[in-house]
């Protein structure tokens, strides 16, 4: 029996080629696509920002591996960088727009909450919603 671990090969004998390490590039592409889908769905846009950042980071790492010959999916890593960057920008813009709208309408939102707490019937809740729509310009 040899004292060399199984993954080290035999002394004096070359080891076989190692499998490509494509995980970073693949992760970048998957995260970039998910981030992009979430960015265009308004409610998911806050999640798009961290996913976009991760996609760009993993994509850069994956491209580095491909450049060193450790990975074979440079294209996937590049696509991950691109989709991640788009998700980051679109998600960031939508988060900023949403936060601005909420800040501009904070008083109206608080009034709606108070009105809904006091409402006892469906008609009163509908009246609260109608008053909120009248007070807030929902187009901006």
Listing DSSP states for 73-119 in one string gives: -HHHHHHHHHHHHHHHHHHHHHHHHHHHHHHHTHHHHHHHHHHHHH-
Angle at 63 between CA 57 and CA 66, to 5 degrees: 145
Q: What is the pLDDT of residue 42?
A: 73
Residue 2 has pLDDT above 60, yes or no: no
Residue 106 has pLDDT above 50, yes or no: yes
Tell me the two tokens of residue 123.
């008609």
- C-alpha span between 131 and 113 (Å, rounded): 12
pLDDT single digits (tens) 38-60: 998 877 788 999 999 999 999 99
- C-alpha span between 129 and 135 (Å, rounded): 10
Enclosing H/E stretch for 38: helix 23-40
Q: What is the pLDDT of residue 32?
A: 96
- C-alpha span between 29 and 125 (Å, rounded): 45
- C-alpha span between 37 and 137 (Å, rounded): 27
Q: What is the pLDDT of residue 45?
A: 84
The residue-averaged pLDDT of 59-64 equals: 96
The residue-averaged pLDDT of 20-33 equals: 94
More confident residue, 68 or 4: 68
Residue 139 has pLDDT above 60, yes or no: no
């Amino acid at each position: 029996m040899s004292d060399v671990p199984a993954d080290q090969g035999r002394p004096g004998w070359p080891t076989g080629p190692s499998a490509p390490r494509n995980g970073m590039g693949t992760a970048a592409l998957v995260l970039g696509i998910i981030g992009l889908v979430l960015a265009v769905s308004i409610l998911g846009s806050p999640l798009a920002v961290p996913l976009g950042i991760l996609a760009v980071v993993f994509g850069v790492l994956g491209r580095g591996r491909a450049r060193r010959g450790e990975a074979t999916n440079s294209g996937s890593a590049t696509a991950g960088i691109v989709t991640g960057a788009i998700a980051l920008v679109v998600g960031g813009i939508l988060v900023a727009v949403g936060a601005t709208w909420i800040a501009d309408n904070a008083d109206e939102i608080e009034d709606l909450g108070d009105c809904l707490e006091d409402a006892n019937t469906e008609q009163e809740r509908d009246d609260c919603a109608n008053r909120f729509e009248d007070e807030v310009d929902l187009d901006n």
